[in-house]
Amino acid sequence: MSTTTADLPTYKLYRHIEDINRYCPGGYHPIEVNDTLNQRYIIVDKLGKGGYSTIWLARDQKLNKYVAVKVGTADQVSKEREILLKLAGNQTNDFSGHLITQVLDHFTLHGPNGTHPCIVTAPARCSVAESIKTSRYNSFRLDVARALSAQLIMATAYVHGAGFVHGDIHLRNVLLQLPGSEIDQLSIQQVYEKYYEPEPYPVARTDGQPVTSTSVPKNVYRPNWLGKPSDEVLLPEAKLWLADFGTAFNPSQETRLMSYTHLQNRPPEAKFDPTKPLTFSSDIWSLGLMVWEVMGDGPFMSSFLFNWDEVIADQVDALGPLPQEWWEKWEAKLNEFEENGQPKGQREYWSLERRFHMNIQDPRMEEGTEQMDNDESHAFLDMIKGMLRFRPEERLTADQVLRSEWMSKWALPLVEKAWERKLLD
């Protein structure tokens, strides 16, 4: 008699830890601190978790350095490893290729829950999202923000130039690099002393019965923190990787209709043209929103949007009227707007310019830190407007963003300073 999901026991859940019930056939591979993977990688601590993977800090016994090992679920259907290897093979002398997560090794694990794809990369300091979340001001210094934004644009242009759409650009997938010189010379015990020791949480069944399944580990772990709050990141540390290519695709070889980005970051064509394949321009929309967030102290879109109609209304508030055919198709428009497109009644709305001052300029003024001057402000807003045009075919390409005035005059020079190398002709 076969075992169904309903027959499996359920387990006590912990905050900030993966769903323990996903340690089942097809799900996560059970891993404990001090385990050795592939006869080479000693597990030191947990770095992160997602719906389809857990990520671990490990000591590479062969090369005597620290690495990150991403262990996918057994049911994961992803071309991430293949795409990363193709991107690495496309580097030639392009500096931007160094802004993409590099595959150091890859292998498969066979366990009680199935066969799991594993990718080995250099460990990151933390995600940009985590760095912002833990800071006092929810923002980076202006020079750091410029450098990080420019590198994110460069990385996206590199991915597009190789023929791929990332498919899920958000700040949890943008990682601050951790130089090997900061950690590789440390023993495992010294790593624990510098950061934190792993804190095991015992796996327990909700019915109080003993845990007998080999599908689950004895303990689970919260992700450790190797990072820095954004307000403490200095320009020499402003180096990033664009990561997580689990939803990436080649639009010349695959038709992708569904957008996997968070609803707030989803391009409008995903609602109004759901049968039209997504292309590079869908990445540009997400990229524009993320550049805005790196440069400011919060997201471009409101954080309190719970359905498509609220998202579209916020987009119209910021960016102006929808294309006529989309406006006519939008059934809920009269909830927030008059027929002529004006906000209904006395409803307060946030234009692009108001958001710029409230999210980017005013917080820096209140903190007493550097702000954009008028020339930079105009150039930055021109670039953002070009990235956030409603019609996807009218948006700037990644190469056009790369060549924009804001990039060439204000952002790329900061990348050169951060990396101490010449990038501009």
Question: Do 237 and 200 share a structural domain?
Answer: no
Backbone angles phi, psi at 348, to 5 degrees: -80, 135
pLDDT of residue 425: 60
Domain residues for the domain of 359 are 124-178+227-425
Query: What one-letter code names the amino acid at 107?
Result: F
Question: Do 51 and 117 share a structural domain?
Answer: yes
CA 380 to chain centre: 22
pLDDT of residue 6: 59
Question: Do 384 and 309 share a structural domain?
Answer: yes
Question: Do 17 and 162 share a structural domain?
Answer: no
Q: Which of 27, 131, 5 is nearest to 75 (CA)?
A: 27
Helices (H), 336-409: 352-355, 362-367, 374-387, 398-402, 405-406
Measured CA distances, 275 to 84, 256, 315 (Å)? 28, 9, 21
Question: Do 290 and 392 share a structural domain?
Answer: yes
CA 145 to chain centre: 16
pLDDT of residue 2: 47
**70 in a known ligand binding site:** yes
For the stretch 210-266, pLDDT in tens is 999 999 999 999 999 999 999 999 999 999 999 999 999 999 999 999 998 999 999
Question: Do 193 and 147 share a structural domain?
Answer: no
Q: Which residues of the chain have pLDDT under 50?
A: 1-3
pLDDT of residue 5: 54
CATH of the domain at 380: 1.10.510.10
pLDDT of residue 347: 83
Question: Do 142 and 114 share a structural domain?
Answer: no
Question: Do 202 and 170 share a structural domain?
Answer: no
pLDDT of residue 1: 41
Is residue 271 within 8 A of residue 153, CB to CB? The reply is: no
Is residue 168 within 8 A of residue 78, CB to CB? The reply is: no
Is residue 253 within 8 A of residue 86, CB to CB? The reply is: no
Question: Do 89 and 66 share a structural domain?
Answer: yes
Count of other CB atoms within 10 angstroms of residue 87: 24
Question: Do 139 and 18 share a structural domain?
Answer: no
pLDDT of residue 304: 81
Distant-in-sequence contacts of 402-405, Cβ < 8 A, 24+ apart: 402/153, 402/154, 402/157, 404/379, 405/379
Domain count of the chain?
A: 2
Backbone angles phi, psi at 124, to 5 degrees: -100, 160
Question: Do 45 and 151 share a structural domain?
Answer: no
Any idea what DSSP says for residue 248? -
CATH of the domain at 16: 3.30.200.20
Question: Do 388 and 328 share a structural domain?
Answer: yes
CB-count exposure of residue 338 (10 Å: 0-12, 13-18, 19+): exposed
Count of other CB atoms within 10 angstroms of residue 293: 26
Measured CA distances, 242 to 2, 27, 127, 259, 268 (Å)? 42, 25, 10, 18, 23
C-alpha to C-alpha distance for 351 and 321, rounded to whole angstroms:
12
For the stretch 370-397, pLDDT in tens is 999 999 999 999 999 999 999 999 999 9
